[in-house]
Structure 1
Amino acid sequence: MGAVSALGVPTVEELGWLTVDDAAAAGIARRVAVDCAHRLGFSEQRAGEVAIVAAELASNLHRHADAGALSVRCLRRGDVGGIELIAVDAGPGMADLLLSSRDGTSTAGTLGIGLGAVGRLSDSATGYSQPGRGTVFTAQLWPETTVPQTRARVAGLSRPIIGERVCGDRYAARAAADGSLLVLVADGLGHGSLAAAAAAAVVDAFLASSLEAPAGIVEHVHRAVSHTRGAAASVARLGGGSVHFAGLGNVAGTIAFPDGDRRGMVSMPGIVGHQSRAVREFSYELPAEGVVVLHSDGVSDRWSLRDYPGLARREPLLVAATLLRDAGVRRDDACVAVARGGEPA
């Protein structure tokens, strides 16, 4: 699950992942997305367009992809709700995603209107693809009410362990008073509903707090969630060309560069809500080309942005989804959050 309260960035409710392994998955994706649209007050016409986009993305995964999965998420900006769809697959990928998204382009003898329809009906749609490695494609749809589209500085994505419907890993973000960006990832101990409840309590305490120093936030959260089974959690603050970082437990924080260079950030041993040494905060330089990646231990640290040409400069959600696809461990809950410096949140 995820939540974001930074200015201009929607809060996120993850409805779950759909494995696309047969033709029936398109119908399931359509129903989940339309149910969300109705809950958010979409008109029947716009809900019908949501159905088309969900079905096209799922059908495209079934026809062309390997290990395809689709995430459906409810978004909120103030009183306005939207829908986000994230399609992820492990191959065969496309050399020119822009060309493949045009009407009439097909690699399977079909009419080739799937991604073209997705682009036309969505308020925003984008993707990243590599031949032989797969594709990530995201689409947002909002109601007829005009919702300003802003380039997100932070995004995240989580996925439960196989066999569970809820995920014990969550991310959240909010803006500090000076416009810097605060990002958190929490990993509830274990799996299932109790882990999810622990991570949700961490997120709630983070969002409700007015504290802005990462070490102070971690200490506050530690005191606030003692009624849960506990979690690992890390907090990063990005702004002014630097990142401040503090954590307890095994939520990793990394500054990553397009050329593959990485710098790990230090988290202290402990369990938020139960066991804690003195929390320490560390400061690191954050050059303009660097991105900050926080992830739970359900994601292997054996990744490098060098393997994904151009990805570091793309939307944070594309980076998060790609890393979750390739480095996520299926025998554990997993969560990735990606943030960059830049203009105020």
Structure 2
Amino acid sequence: MKKTYVALCAILTVMAPATLTAQEVTLRLSHWVPPTISPATKGINPWAESVMEASDGRIQIDIYPAQQLGRAPDHYDMAKDGIVDLSYVNPGYTAGRFPIYALTEVPFMADDSVKGAMAIHEWYAANGAEQEMGDVKVCFVHPHAPGALHTQVDVTSPDGVSGKNVRPAHATMARFVSLLGGGPVQVPAPEVREALSKGAAEAVTFPWGSMYDFNLTEEVPVHLDMPFYLSAQVLIMNLDSYNSLSDENKAVIDDHCTPEWSGKVAQGWYDDDMAAKEKLMADENQTFNTPTEEEVAAWREAAAPLIDEWKAAVADRGHDADAILEAYKAKLVEMGADY
């Protein structure tokens, strides 16, 4: 009996460290994207699958898409407050809350979403994440390919926006529409088609794939073919959820919260956007307009006040706006993502 007891103790002693480190946990991930479209299928889902695989199944991620657990603008607070463990956030849906990050929304700055994702991740980690999103863990940055202006009639220069109601991608684009004399109609992405079909909006700034994702090809069949803007979503994690993980599981999460992973998740969305653009260009019912050099210059000039407004908003929070702006421009150039 004594020998059996000693042997059993030895077995338990050997097994104890493995038991302590092999923590199993289930995380709830919420997003507002329909489950079948590319931001989910080519970005969020593969990331979650990789986390589960890399943890040898210790980490299970249950995904709740399409605003099942809350409206799109609420997703930052849902993760911050622990309603969910992980959430997919468009910072531009909450105007004024993340003034440093809003620089990524200024049009005509980036022309590559994959390199841009890595650039934004590195820049924000060094220049604003702790100040603005320090109450969550930022996992990855997820922009679409540079989006375009999609309209019902030809618009190739800034004055064409005047008098039109436009659904903007985010708060900065809403301000741009206002500067151009248009009326911003601010609704989350899943509600855009309804706004267009009811006549509440006549144009939209959207990525190319969204023309098919949200069935908009008949609503806005005219497209301005230039890298108009980025909307860079972020995946964030509740800090208590992260801190409660074992060191082994934290390491898995850390390995998936990197600029490289931002590039990986952006690549799938980029590929789908470019495929959608080619499909649109092959559709005789769609019209593509390429602005002239003079028109591009006019668009850039029209957007210049947005930089001044951004600087003022960031300076009001006590930050060095000029240094942050130069760091962003430098990182885009370094990564080959500047426009």
Report the TM-score, using the length of structure 2 for normalisation: 0.27
Higher strand share: 1
The structure with the greater share of residues assigned to helix is 2
Flag the structure with more relative contact order, 1 or 2, with Cα contacts below 8 A and sequence separation at least 6: 2
